[in-house]
Amino acid sequence: MKKIRQSCFCLCLAGICLLSAGRVVQAGVLEEMDSVLTVALDAQAEADAFLRERQEEEAFLMRLRMEVEALHFENHMLEKRIAGQHQKLEGLEAASDPGRVARLVEPMLGKLAAALEERMETLPPFGMEARKMRVQRLREAMEDGEKNTEDRFRLLLDCMEAELNLGVFPDMEPGIWEKEGETLRGLFLHLGAAGLFFLSPDGDIVARWDGETRNFHLLESREARAVERALAMVERRMPTELISLPVSLQEVP
């Protein structure tokens, strides 16, 4: 019986020792686990911070790419505008080239001078000496190498202005009408672009210029009296619009 009690006591001591040892081991394990968990949490925090930093950097890079693309587009538009300005400058330089201007204008001046002479042939022959002298000066300027394009153009404008003003205001001048070999002296009355009349000093002969036949034709007494009244108005500087003259609209250029 005594031995049994001793054995039980020994077993109890052994159990107490084992229990104490287990608690020590468990405490060590818990401490180790806490340490590992702390390290893991720190690592996770660092990973989260790195991820946020990376996201911010990616967003910054995206903004930079968008700004670069916007700058590329703006540069492209500026290059197009600069190219357009260069083309305009080249065009202005070419237009301001005196040689080019002369090459373009000189043929046109020649055509206008020829058209002016043709127009003179279709209008009544009033003041022909002065008109022919103007055209002759223009022709001489066209052939004169010392005359520049500006001088020739100015002469052409003077001739055109004089021709266009011809007949705008009533005018008259003394002259001679060669009528079937007979020389008649009198007054030429120019009214409008197509109205040209001849009146003898005594008023017995009154004729109208016919653009189709290129000659004067005698007028009847009624028409002759209208022309005489018009001449009197011109001499007194009265408006000739009050007189109905024998001129058809077909003859007005």
Q: Indicate the SS3 state at residue 186.
A: strand
- Report field, pTM of the whole predicted structure over 0.75: no
- Ordered by start, the domain boundaries in the chain are 1-96, 98-165, 171-251
The residues facing 174 across adjacent strands are 187
| d(C-alpha 220, C-alpha 56), whole Å | 109
User: How do strand 195-199 and strand 206-210 relate by DSSP bridges?
Assistant: antiparallel
Tell me how far CA of residue 246 lies from CA of 218, 219, 229, in angstroms. 11, 9, 13
What are the phi and psi torsion angles at 160 (to 5°)? -65, -40
Q: Per residue of the chain (253 residues), give pLDDT as tens.
A: 556 666 655 656 556 655 555 565 566 666 777 777 787 787 788 888 888 888 877 777 777 677 767 767 777 776 787 777 767 767 666 555 656 656 777 777 778 888 888 888 888 888 888 888 888 888 888 877 777 778 888 888 888 888 888 777 788 888 888 888 888 898 888 887 778 888 888 888 888 988 888 888 888 888 888 888 888 877 776 554 444 445 454 444 4
* DSSP letter assigned to residue 219: P
| d(C-alpha 242, C-alpha 229), whole Å | 10
Run of H or E residues at 22? helix 2-95
CA 232 to chain centre: 53
